Chain A
Amino acid sequence: MAKAVLIVDDSGAIRMMVSCTLESAGYEVIEAADGQEGLDKAKARTVDLVLTDQNMPRMDGFAMIKNLRAMPAYKTVPVLMLTTECGDAMKAQGKAAGATGWLVKPFDPQKLLEMAKRMIR
């Protein structure tokens, strides 16, 4: 059974790029356009990896991760932040919220795939 990845980003173009990269490697991809939709989809089906942006409407990435970490099924599921900003303060906030790692946009799709493989293993 294919490993499932939830990609949460308000940019349809970024979701399309990430989905194409991961699906070509055999992953099942579930998409959400903001943190609230991401949380709803994560509740409906437990995934093996979450990739999320930070700045999104309705619910941002940090808030979504905090909510995910409060769910028993997501205590240890890796969550990778995928953002344009990566200052130390922001990384500290992400870590405090429960993020496992960080990949800065722009990203090389191959590097994203390698990180996903490492985190799901």
Chain B
Amino acid sequence: MDVHFINPVIASLLNVLSTMAHLEPTYGSPKIKEKNDVVHGKNLTGLMSMVGKQATASIALTFTEAAILHIARKMLPGEFSRIDGVVIDLAGELANMALGGAKGDLEKEGFLFQLSLPTIIVGSDYLIAHRTKAPIIMLPFFMPEGDFFVEASYEET
């Protein structure tokens, strides 16, 4: 994994959460995801791809139910006690903003990408299937109220 790709994604995600939700999550050490690793417990994932002439990438943001409900309460008016349509929409928008920001940074370095629309997965104990043969890096993020993680793969074309 090229850090020139993953670093803008991490920076952009942290910027989104800081700017719009006033949250400052910490993050742990990255690890390689095994292809058949299932996401345990109730979660919500925004999965997007970035396709360019030089490379393609697949990125997933996966929030535990506690994490996405906390983010929703920080960003939106009202109380959120379960994953509903607004929370699902919010997860897609977070993925969109994080990847949109990373795309802008990568463009400054000469990497041009097209972003897909986010695909949202909601459920318990599911597999996130990235359309790539490249290794997938998993990076965990921590908040007192709940955790989330990013999966990213990057493949030069």
Chain A bound to chain B: yes
* Cβ contacts under 8 Å, A96 to chain B: none
Residue B56 CB within 8 A of the other chain: no
Decide if A87 touches B86 in the complex (CB within 8 Å).
no
A84–B96 CB distance below 8 A:
yes
Number of A-B contacts (CB under 8 A): 52
B80-121: CB near A (< 8 Å → 1, else 0) gives 000001110110110011011101100100000001000000
Docked-complex contact A87 and B75, CB < 8 angstroms: no
Query: Closest Cβ of chain B: how far from A88's Cβ, in Å?
Result: 9
Q: Are B89 and A13 neighbours in the complex by a CB distance under 8 Å?
A: yes
Assess the B101–A106 pair: CB atoms within 8 A.
yes
CA distance A109 to B104 in the complex (A): 21
Q: How far apart sit A42 and B50, CA to CA, in the bound complex (Å)?
A: 35
In the bound complex, residues from chain B placing their C-beta under 8 Å from that of A109 are 20
Is B101 within 8 A of A87, CB to CB? no
Give CA–CA (A92, B25) in the complex, Å. Answer: 36
Q: Known contacts being A11-B92, A85-B103, is A16 close to B97, with CB within 8 Å?
A: no
Is the pair A84, B97 in contact by a Cβ cutoff of 8 Å? yes
Count residues of chain B with CB under 8 A from any CB of chain A. 24
B7 close to A (CB within 8 Å): no
Query: Which among A13, A14, A106, A107 has the greatest number of chain B C-beta atoms within 10 A?
Result: A106
Any chain A CB within 8 A of the CB of B19? yes
Given contacts A11-B93, A84-B96, A105-B97, contact A17 B104 (CB under 8 A): no
Binding site secondary structure of chain B: helix
B76 within 8 A of A: yes
Partner among B86, B96, B101, B115 whose Cβ is within 8 Å of the Cβ of A16: B86
Known: A12-B85, A13-B89, A17-B76. Is A107-B104 also a contact (CB below 8 A)? no
Chain A residues with CB under 8 Å of B101's CB are: 84, 106
Binary interface encoding of chain A residues 85-114 relative to chain B, with 1 for a CB under 8 A from any of its CBs, else 0 = 111000000000000000001111100000
Contact B20 A107 (CB under 8 A): yes
Taking a contact as CB atoms under 8 Å apart, the answer to whether A87 and B89 are in contact is no
**In the assembled complex, A20 has its CB within 8 A of some CB on chain B:** yes
The answer to whether residues A85 and B86 also contact, given A13-B75, A17-B75, A17-B76 and a CB cut-off of 8 A, is: no
Instruction: List the interface of chain A (C-beta within 8 A of B).
Output: 11-14, 16-17, 20, 83-87, 105-109
Of all A-B residue pairs in the complex, the 9 with the closest CB atoms, nearest first, are: A84-B100, A13-B90, A106-B19, A20-B77, A106-B16, A13-B89, A106-B20, A11-B93, A12-B89
